[in-house]
Structure 1
Amino acid sequence: MNFHIKDLDYSIPPTKYFDIIKNNDWSIFLNSNYEKYSDQRFDILTSNPIEKIILDRTDRGSKINKDNIFEKIQNIIKKNQCSSQKEIPFCGGAIGFMSYDYGNELHNIETKNIECFNYPLVAFGIYDWCITYDHLKKKSFILYHKKNEIVDKIINYKFTDKELSQLRNFKSVSSCESNMTYDLYKSKIKKILSYIKKGDCYQVNLAQRFSLGYEGDEYSMYEILNSSFASPYSAYMNYPFGKILSFSPERFLSIQNNIVETKPIKGTRPRSEDLEIDKMNLHELKTSDKDRAENLMIVDLLRNDLGINCKNGSIKVDKLFEIETFANVHHLVSTIRGEVDKSSSIYNLIKDAFPGGSITGAPKLRSMQIIDELEPNNRSVYCGSIGYISFDEKVDLNISIRTMLAVDNNLYFWGGGGIVADSDIKSEYNESIAKVKPLLDTFSD
């Protein structure tokens, strides 16, 4: 399928172009924060999909269900297939999210926790145009298959000085609350430790959910938070059922020319304004036997997950126990690669690897059952995945940690960590707070 490209003015920030479309139907901003993290070089902005693929909990018996939704996406991608170009990450295709709860459906876990959000299990829009910023080449362009009113508006848009200096409006209107007290969180960790001792599991990821009331524009909130919470796999997503604000540092899957890469995070230390303390925290993470063991468990799990659909012998651990530093935390990250087997497909691989092992634990099924038993509320988009499948079958999906849901002037976000046999309860609780500290600090100002 052919597409057209028109260059745009790279000096205009992508945030300003998104201002034009932010209130459009299913508007999306995939934000690389390249100036801070060179892992990603592209920003992608779009809206008004030509088709919507939605899976709700009530769809178990309908034409689209948990098992065939990726067949539906695959058929659309094949029908509109484009030739792959290295400099173009997304030539139209599917952009959206899979909720963590979709993972429960895939693994036949009948959820016991309380569902608090009316978000779908899966939602992908099929988009035939987008704005792309290539921050490595310092160029921006609009790509489209057919001209429409939005494309014409963007190509011909003249920004005013007022628009370029527009102030943002957002404030919190209630104090932040967790769905678990410290004592309750402590009791949940003790329960996990008892399961580990009995041999049920080796590691379980436990999270608490925070909430507060707010007033103002959600995209303004995203921009304010992004200034201190920027990450390479960030996203702002505008849906009628709510907004998603993701500041994820973690890649779930990248696929290009049938080569798949995953970069699990396991191991965290807080940043400090005191340089000596910051260096000490980094060194402690780098040399921690506990964190290395925890990371290695997940590496082994993901090698097995990828191995279901990858060519025999192709899976390699490219990097083990690398340190990646972000605004508020240091993380221990590993990189695993493989080649998708010709007898399978990228769609089978995505489904069989979901949800990412770094946010479940090991073994995956049992840890997911324990998470469902112990966490009071459903995770929804948190710990799911956000990203795209392009018409040329390039894929980039995050793990949607550091991710917030804005619904009816209430904001929800989570913090958690992996519990293993030698976990210290107080340290694990502090880690769950450290991961969301910039959010808490922003809302307390």
Structure 2
Amino acid sequence: MNNSHFISQLELPSDLDSALLFSVVADENGAIFLDSANAEHQHSRYDILLSAPLARLTYKNGITQTKLLQGLYTSESQDDPFKVARRLHAELMPKSLVETDLPFAGGSVGWFTYDLARAIENLPETAQADINLPDMMLGIYDWAIIKDNKTKTWFALDYQPKLKRVERWLQKFEQSTAQPAETFALTSDWQANMSEADYRDKFEQVKKYLHQGDCYQINLAQRFTASFQGNAWSAYLKLRERNKAPFSAFLRTENASVISISPERFLQVTNQKVETNPIKGTIARGQSLKQDNLHKAKLKDSQKDRSENLMIVDLLRNDISKVCQAGSVRVPKLFDIESFPSVHHMVSTITGELKDDKNAFDLLRACFPGGSITGAPKIRAMQIIEELEPHRRSIYCGAIGFIDWRGNMDTNITIRTLVAKENKVHCWGGGGLVYDSNCLSEYNETFDKLSQILPVLKRN
């Protein structure tokens, strides 16, 4: 069957910013923007704009709830949430799928918080859980608008074109007055959940665990919180412009917004081929071109950062090997340096090929949460994180992305990510600690990573 009528090219200006088109739905519950942010980066190509899902799945406190939004039907399950998500995904799959080279062909899109790990592993419960987000939030979307930033072309994907959903979106855009979103402003200063002295104390506890042989590496993060008023979409636009991160995203729900300015891919699947690109190793950008090049060279030659990066490469190789064909896992790129507006990062690439009987949901579960933001060995590192960090991580160090009906997937690691909820906005910064880490350097690195976020949204 020819399904070309389910996808069409849109007559939109090639220079139209995707964020401008998304802005007309940005306040809608279920609106999602997977955004390459006009970044000059090898992975920055497609923008995916989504609204009005067919169904929604949420997982919290051991219960997975599914709701068919058009049929007003809800159900609950205590099964593994990854299995429930896979079942709903399959149940709503069209009988025939679009044939396209575009990255997304309809399917599941949303977030997976760091705390979703509790559905996989038995972890202690000592840190305060004060951000009440679902640990998994997925919408099932059978339509989308997609921009290919390489060819400067726009596409509409719609399995129910008679509903004229894309046409209504475009009409709304044409009729919009192009007024900016309600402004976003902090009404308090950012407040960290640990002082420098607290961080130093926790750093020494990490070193003790490393010395005892509990772990080779442990990620330690601090959280920053402020009060705000206004629209989170306006905050996203500010951060998007300053950071230009290739794995950015904005997600709106009924009572919360998630803003992700992530530079890091977690897992990608294309035709059963797997790729992951962990970041481990960071240095601030220099104030001049000469200084910037010196910083980049320093990171590239850093034996500490190479060792740290290699630990996570080995961890991820092990994780994806659980669901990949024997002998297919490779490391084609090791210790590459990638540059972003505020920092340089050391990035490696691991690839593999899924077993015939495994799919993207299996891969995500096998690798979750990402090793680059836990430590190694993963489970022990997560136990120590729960002990030392005052608050649960929520969305931080989880993932945002899609799994489409063809079996393809692309997700980020939710670093440089904020939650805006109930007039509070939260943001995190952290890093991997090894035995020869320096406390002051690691503490300052958390601020380097947020140097294009916290000051940008500072209280006026």
Q: TM-score, normalised by structure 1?
A: 0.95
Distance of 2:130 and 2:186 partners within structure 1: 20
Deviation at 1:158, TM superposition (A): 5.7
Partner of 2:54 in structure 1?
Answer: 50
Secondary structure of the structure 1 residue equivalent to 2:206: helix
Q: 1:57 is matched by which residue type in structure 2?
A: N
**2:456 and 2:305 mapped to 1: Cα distance?**
29
- The alpha-carbon deviation at position 442 of structure 1 amounts to 1.1
Q: Deviations over 1:272-316 (max 9, x none)?
A: 332232222111101000000000000000000010010111001
Superposition pairs of residues 95-244 of structure 1, within 5 angstroms: 95-147=109-161, 148=163, 150-157=165-172, 159=174, 162-163=177-178, 166=180, 169-244=183-258
Counterpart among 2, 7, 21 of residue 4 in structure 1: 7
Q: Find out whether 1:33 has 2:47 as its counterpart.
A: no
CA distance in 2, matches of 1:126, 1:34: 26
Q: 1:310 to 1:397 in 2, by over 3 A?
A: same
Paired with 1:167 and 1:377, the residues of 2 have a C-alpha distance of 31
Q: Deviations over 1:369-426 (max 9, x none)?
A: 1111111101111100000011221100000100000011111000000000101000
State the Cα distance separating 1:153 from its structure 2 match.
1.1
Against the structure 1 CA distance between its residues 78 and 314, is the aligned structure 2 distance closer, same or farther, given a 3 Å change threshold? farther
Aligned 8 A contact 2:360 2:403 in 1: no
CA distance 1:380–1:155, shift in 2 (3 Å): same
Cα distance, 1:397–1:77 mapped onto 2, change above 3 Å: farther
Q: Does 1:65 align with 2:69?
A: no
Task: For 1:428 and 1:158, locate their aligned partners in 2 and report how far apart those are by CA, in whole Å.
Answer: 46
1:23 counterpart = 2:38: no
Q: For 1:21 and 1:53, how far apart are their aligned partners in 2?
A: 20
| Distance of 1:377 and 1:358 partners within structure 2 | 20
For residues 117 and 158 of structure 1, do their structure 2 counterparts lie closer, same or farther at Cα, with a shift above 3 Å needed? closer
Which residue identity is paired with 1:264? Answer: P
SS of equivalent residue, structure 2 residue 452? helix
Residues 68-119 of structure 1, C-alpha deviation per residue, up to 9 Å, x if partnerless? 2343245236555625422x11121110011000013311113211001110
Unaligned runs of 5+ in 2: 65-75
Amino acid at match of 1:285: L
Corresponding residue for residue 14 of structure 1: 18
Structure 1 contact 81–392 (Cα < 8 Å) conserved: no
Q: Secondary structure at the match of 1:351?
A: helix
In the alignment, the residues of structure 1 paired with residue 425 and residue 294 of structure 2 have an alpha-carbon distance, to the nearest angstrom, of 34
Shift of 1:63: 4.4
Aligned to 1:93: 107
SS at match of 1:341: coil
Superposed CA RMSD: 1.9
- 8 Å CA contact retained: 2:24, 2:176: no
**Following the alignment from structure 2 to structure 1, what is the Cα–Cα distance between the partners of residues 96 and 362?**
18
* Secondary structure of residue in 2 paired with 1:404: strand
Aligned AA for 1:234? S
Contact 2:418–2:426 under 8 Å retained in 1: yes
Matching residue of 1:412: 426
1:434 equivalent in alignment to 2:448 = yes
Contact 1:55/1:64 (<8 A) preserved: no
Residues 145, 166 of structure 2: 8 Å contact kept: no
Which residue, 81, 86, 91 being the options, matches 1:76? 91
Secondary structure of the 2:110 match is strand
Partner of 2:81, secondary structure, is coil
Deviations 1:306-349 (A, max 9, x none): 10010111001010000000011100000000000113222211
- Whole-angstrom CA distance in 2 between matches of 1:80 and 1:354: 30
Quickly say closer, same or farther: Cα 1:158–1:201, change in 2 above 3 A.
closer
Amino acid at match of 1:313: G
Instruction: State whether residues 66 and 106 of structure 1, in contact with CA within 8 Å, keep that contact through their aligned partners in structure 2.
Output: no
1:205–1:367 CA contact under 8 A, matched in 2: yes
Aligned to 2:310: 296
Tell me how far 1:233 sits from its aligned partner.
0.3
CA distance in 2, matches of 1:370, 1:167: 41
SS at structure 2 position matched to 1:11: coil
Give how far 1:230 is off.
1.9
Q: Which residue identity is paired with 1:8? A: E
Contact 1:73 1:94 survives alignment (8 Å): no
| Alignment of 1:339 onto 2:353 | yes
Assess, with a 3 A threshold, how the Cα gap between structure 1 residues 326 and 168 changes in structure 2: closer, same or farther.
Answer: farther
Aligned residues: 443
Is the 8 Å Cα contact of residues 84 and 392 (structure 1) preserved in structure 2? no
The DSSP-based 3-state class of the residue aligned with 1:20 is: coil
Question: Which secondary structure state, in structure 2, belongs to the residue aligned with residue 431 of structure 1?
Answer: helix
Task: Determine if contact 2:89/2:107 at 8 Å carries over to the other structure.
Answer: no
Structure 1 gap ranges (5+)? none
Three-state SS of the structure 1 residue aligned to 2:365 is helix
Greater displacement, 320-329 / 434-443: 434-443
Partner of 1:317: 331
1:8: Cα distance to partner? Answer: 3.5
Q: Which secondary structure state, in structure 1, belongs to the residue aligned with residue 299 of structure 2?
A: helix
Pick which of 302-311 and 277-286 moved more: 277-286
- Residues 37 and 232, structure 1, Cα contact 8 Å, conserved in 2: yes
2:19 alignment partner AA: T
The residue identity in structure 2 corresponding to 1:383 is: C
